[in-house]
Amino acid sequence: MQSPDGDVIDCVLSHQQPAFDHPHLRGNKPLNPPESPNGHKSNPNELENFQLWSLSGETCPEGTIPIRRTREIDILRASSLQTFGRKIKTPIRRDTISNAHEHAIGYVSPEIYGDYFPRFFTYWTSDAYQTTGCYNLLCSGFVQTNNRIAIGAAISPTSSYDGGQYDITILIWKDPKHGNWWLEFGSGVVVGYWPSFLFSQLRSSASMIQFGGEIVNTNPSGFHTSTQMGSGHFPAQGFGKASYFRNLQLVDSDNSLIPLTNLKLVADHPNCYDIQGGINSVWGHYFYYGGPGKNQHCS
């Protein structure tokens, strides 16, 4: 299927996706989703279609999953075949607005995708990005179970400055019975899971949860990058202008959604990207974040 942004989406038999090249999974089939955490409710007002390729109602047949086709030009943008689909493993500084292990968020990466569309992606690693892991389904790891979501495909519609604002709900929780980490995206749509054998500490539980933004700063020409985080506007501008996370919760050892405790707001370089948070009865725990990068106060 041809997406309006030029992506080609292929429907692949679910048991032939890259995850099943792993020796622990070879010959198996995807698992059925476990029960959702206690207290979790899907948002009936959330959009059903939130990816560009499926706005016309396209899905893959049952028993298959949609995979964004990797083109030769995608591979050529990488510095080598070994680095294709992987995070940069150099001492380049990453400006972040929180701390923890990364799983899934929206991402803009012209190096990987060749454009500036925000995309839904996954990434896993078991050794802090040294030798393991990859984006999306580019290596054996994440097991997709859904025929409606194309991991790595462009998100649509997107929020606009001083215009319409769109939320996407993300839930990650550990199946208490089998230990796999499951991902739900949008209004109750279970996407798939990271098998427990991929990880070491995460086989038992997570010790930290991260929400926020990240950019790569290569200090071009000796100055801070002008790469934007979020909407490119500082959090003080508030709703409709700055990017935000809201209704932040965690899943405890009893498989129940509970309010956050000990939430810490951290901005590595607040003159470049900042963060402001709070709590209220409608949004629960929330924060606005982001910024323009290089500016008169950030060099």
Question: Is 92 contained in some domain?
Answer: yes
Token pair recorded at residue 99: 């701390």
Query: Of 205, 235, 259, which residue constitutes the final position of a domain?
Result: 205
Which of the residue ranges 13-22, 197-206, 245-254 would you say has the lowest mean pLDDT?
197-206
**Domain of 230?**
225-298
Quick check: 71 pLDDT over 80? no
Question: Is 219 contained in some domain?
Answer: no
Identify the pLDDT of residue 27: 87
Residue 4: which residues within 8 A CB-CB, separation 6 or more?
Answer: 52, 53, 55
Q: Are residues 140 and 26 part of one domain?
A: yes
Q: Is 293 left (phi over 0), alpha (psi -120 to 50) or beta?
A: left
Q: Are residues 231 and 199 part of one domain?
A: no
Q: Give the mean model confidence (pLDDT) for residues 217-222.
A: 80
Question: Is 232 contained in some domain?
Answer: yes
Q: Give the mean model confidence (pLDDT) for residues 129-146.
A: 87
Helix ranges (H only) for the chain are 72-76, 110-113
Cα–Cα distance measured from residue 20 to residue 103, given in angstroms and rounded to the nearest whole number: 20
Identify the pLDDT of residue 58: 85
pLDDT tens readout for residues 274-287: 999 999 999 999 99
Quick check: 249 pLDDT over 60? yes
Question: Is 41 contained in some domain?
Answer: no
Q: Are residues 4 and 147 part of one domain?
A: yes
Question: Is 214 contained in some domain?
Answer: no
Separation in Å, CA 123 to CA 19, 193, 228 = 13, 12, 21
pTM of the predicted model as reported, rounded to 2 decimal places = 0.87
Considering its fold, how many domains does the chain have in total? 2
Identify the pLDDT of residue 243: 95
Largest Cα span, the chain: 57
Question: Is 267 contained in some domain?
Answer: yes
Query: Taking a C-beta distance cutoff of 8 angstroms, is the pair 154, 117 a contact?
Result: yes
Question: Is 213 contained in some domain?
Answer: no
